[in-house]
Amino acid sequence: MHWFRGRTIRSRIALWAVLIAVILVAVATFVFRAAVETIVSTTTHTLLTSNGASYESAIRTGTTKGFSPPGEDQLLAVINPAGKVVVSSLPDSLEDRVQNLAIMTPGLHTVRISPRLQYDVVNEDVDIPDADGTWHIIEARNSDSGQDTLNGLTLVLIIGAVLLVIGFGISTWVVSGLALRPVTRMREQASLLSHSSTADTLPVGPVPDELSALAETLNAFITSVRSSADRERQMVADASHELRTPVAVLRTQLQLAHLSAGNAVALEKEITAAEGTLDRLSNLTTNLLTLSRIEAEEPPPATTGEELVAEFLRSMDRAIVLGSTRAVSVDFTHEGVPPKSSVAVRTVDFAGLIDNLVANAIAASHRGAAVRVRLEGDTDRLVLTVVDSGYGMSEDFLQVAFDRFTRPAVSRPREAGGSGLGLAIVKAIATRSGGTATLESREAGGVRATVTLPLLPT
């Protein structure tokens, strides 16, 4: 309805409540008046028939000679089968119509004499066995008093209905205002949050009702938006910080290449160095985008154990090739992985997880050392273990090893391609899949990396 448009929720609730109240009260008033009118009609009919009860009894007993006159307030007439009025106390206005009244159907009727005068009339037919016809007893009563009573009752009902609707509307306005007060507080808090950098959220009411559920849903949305914004700010900050040095190095290398334009050997050397720097930039950018995608992604689709084992074997092929360039051997095993089980991880992310751990282990290993990789299944999880016998990590670094752009004191130089994002990507993949990633130093030297991924229920 157009008159509800543009109004506040409180106004619409009050208007709808008043509209419904008007309909319900109108129906209740109509039904109540009709019931009262029925009761009045039934009572009138009973009273009128009781006035003629003695005459009916006399007719049925055959004592029709010398009927006693009606009482002072009784209006009635008795008509014999021949159509003659033998007893009458009807007023002249009805006396003239007595023959017409005698042919009315039995029951209560209203006879209007004038706009201001009407009577309630009952025609009773009395049949006597072996008689020549039917006796008629006409009882009447001035209906003005009853009609005035009904009119007064109708007026009282209308006034009461109006007061009830007004009271209902005021009550609805007040109650809806109280009910919507938490919404007002949420709106005010949301307005403050839009101009504030605090970590506050919308207030949640103490009662677990619809408004509390709305506040919790909005708080989850606010938290998600903040997390997304924090990730974007973190990515921009990381990129600006980490890209500054290689970009400056690349600019310097290109300037040196220009200066070496007349020396082919020096020029090739600077171009080769610039290509290495460019590869590092590309790798850093790719890792930043991968990390941002993983952290922002909804729960990933499920991948079967069979697919994960196949991807594990492909990763081992790549690891063997990588290890051969540094004279590091890669030993691997896999067992107990249920082929029909599933894990909430993308195949490409699982491969990235393995590649990062194995690449770190190879880079941290001495020439001639070995890296051991094991994938095994349990009743409710997959466990990936990567063990090296390299330089190891200090206990202090193990506490921050999964943070972005952190590197141990003994590690690869940046020029070798390390960006400090590999372990952060491993941690993000494991966390997104509902699992864990841990590092621990070995007494014999080196580091053991363990990633646990829970199996999805079947």
Tens digits of per-residue pLDDT, 72-89?
778 889 888 888 888 888
How does residue 413 score in pLDDT terms, banded at 50, 70 and 90? very low
The whole-number pLDDT of residue 12 equals 81
Q: Do strands 370-377 and 381-387 pair parallel, antiparallel, or not at all (unpaired)?
A: antiparallel
70 neighbors 76 (Cβ within 8 angstroms): yes
Tell me if residue 29 falls in helix, strand or coil.
Answer: helix
**Residue 198, pLDDT score:** 63
Task: Report whether pLDDT(412) > 50.
Answer: no
Q: Which helix (H) or strand (E) holds 283?
A: helix 264-296
Query: Radius of gyration over alpha carbons of the chain, in Å?
Result: 50
Length in residues, the chain:
458
The arithmetic mean of pLDDT across residues 250-271, rounded, is 77
Q: Mean pLDDT, to the nearest integer, of 292-304?
A: 77
| Predicted local distance difference test score (pLDDT) of residue 235 | 59
DSSP β-bridge partners for residue 408:
none
Which has the closest alpha carbon to 106: 132, 86, 127?
127
Band (pLDDT 50/70/90 cuts) for residue 355 is very high
Residue 117 pLDDT level (bands cut at 50, 70, 90): confident
Contacts 24+ apart (CB under 8 A), 50-56: 51/76, 51/139, 52/76, 52/78, 52/122, 52/124, 52/137, 52/139, 55/87, 55/137, 56/124, 56/126, 56/137
pLDDT at 417: 42
> What does the pLDDT read at residue 275?
78
Backbone angles phi, psi at 41, to 5 degrees: -65, -45
What per-residue confidence (pLDDT) applies to 315? 94
Specify the range with the lowest mean pLDDT, choosing from 68-77, 377-386, 413-422, 433-442.
413-422
Confidence bin at 419 (pLDDT 50/70/90): low
Mean pLDDT is highest, among 6-10, 207-211, 328-332, for 328-332
- Name which residue leads in pLDDT, 312 or 191: 312
What are the tokens at 438? 């841990």
242 closest CA partner among 430, 453, 424: 424
Query: Percent of the chain at pLDDT above 70?
Result: 86
- Exposed, middle or buried, 63 (CB in 10 Å: 0-12/13-18/19+)? exposed
Q: Is residue 342 over pLDDT 50?
A: yes
SS3 content of the chain, % helix, strand, coil (to 5): 55, 15, 30
- The pair of structure tokens assigned to 357 is 């751990």
Q: State pLDDT tens for residues 198-253.
A: 657 777 766 677 777 877 787 777 777 777 667 567 656 666 656 666 677 777 77
Percent of the chain with pLDDT over 90: 19
Residue 35 and residue 40: Cα distance in Å, rounded? 9
Q: What is the pLDDT of residue 414?
A: 42
pLDDT at 447: 92
Mean pLDDT calculated for residue range 382-400: 87
Taking only the tens place, the pLDDT of each residue in 365-378 is 888 999 999 999 98
Task: Answer yes or no: are the C-beta atoms of 390 and 328 closer than 8 Å.
Answer: no
What pLDDT, on the 0 to 100 scale, is given for residue 210? 73
DSSP alpha helix (H) spans, 195-263 = 210-259
Can you tell me the mean pLDDT for 42-60?
Answer: 86
What are the structure tokens assigned to 199, written together? 């970590």
Q: How does DSSP assign 372-416, residue by residue? A: EEEEEE-SSEEEEEEE--SS---HHHHTTTTSTT---SSS--GGG
Would the pTM of this model clear 0.85, i.e. be above it? no
- Residues 356-363 have a mean pLDDT of 91
Using pLDDT thresholds of 50, 70 and 90, give the confidence band for residue 385. Answer: very high
In this predicted structure, the answer to whether residue 409 has a pLDDT above a threshold of 70 is no
b/e burial code for range 92-124 (CB count within 10 A of at least 16 → b)? eebeeebeebbebeeebeebeeeeeebbbbbbb
* Strand 85-88 to 75-79 pairing: antiparallel
Beta strands 342-343 and 303-304: pairing type?
A: antiparallel
Q: Provide the b/e sequence for 399-421 (b: ≥16 CB within 10 Å).
A: eebbebeeebeebeebeeebbbb
Residue 454 pLDDT > 60: yes
Averaged pLDDT for residues 40-68: 84
Assess whether pLDDT exceeds 90 at residue 15.
Answer: no
Contact in structure between 412 and 390 (CB atoms under 8 Å): no
Q: What phi, psi does 343 have (nearest 5°)?
A: -130, 145
pLDDT value at 4 more than 60: no
Strands 107-114 and 329-335, by their bridges, are unpaired
Mean pLDDT score, 283-292: 71
pLDDT at 244: 65
Give the Cα separation of 219 and 70 in Å (integer): 87
- The predicted model gives 101-116 an average pLDDT of 85
Report how far apart the first and last C-alpha atoms of the chain are (Å, whole number).
51
pLDDT number for residue 358: 94
User: Confidence band (pLDDT; 50, 70, 90) for 416?
Assistant: very low
Average pLDDT over residues 252-270: 77
> Which 8-state DSSP code applies to residue 2?
G
